[in-house]
Amino acid sequence: MAQARRKSSDTDLLINREWCKGCGICIAFCPKEALFIDQEGKADKYMDSCTSCGICETYCPDFAISVVKRRININAGKQTGSDARQ
């Protein structure tokens, strides 16, 4: 079964560090090995490796990970950041 891949330029992977317990489940399921546990014991991502596929979001038991679409500033035609969905 083929996985639908989102372009990382269209989406952001957000990690709510307050909710993350550092269980490592997201790391185990990441097909690109783009996640790791940082020095504070929280999940973090390698920016260049993450494709924002959403698998980590699906399996996170603490709902600490969100893949959100970036908003586009129509006037400037540039991406301005992530939706405020935290």
What is the pLDDT at residue 34?
95
Residues 6+ apart with CB under 8 A from 71: 79, 80, 81, 82, 83
Q: Where are the domains of the chain?
A: 11-72
The pLDDT of 15-33, averaged and rounded, is 97
Rounded distance between C-alpha atoms, residue 1 and residue 9, angstroms = 24
- Structure-token pair, residue 61: 């038991």
Residue 2's pLDDT band (boundaries 50, 70, 90)?
A: very low
Q: Which class does domain 11-72 fall in?
A: alpha beta
What are the start-end ranges of the H helices in the chain? 25-29, 55-59
Q: Which residue has the higher pLDDT, 84 or 61?
A: 61
What is the pLDDT at residue 9?
66
Q: pLDDT tens for residues 57-80?
A: 999 999 999 999 887 766 665 555
Residues 6+ apart with CB under 8 A from 40: 17
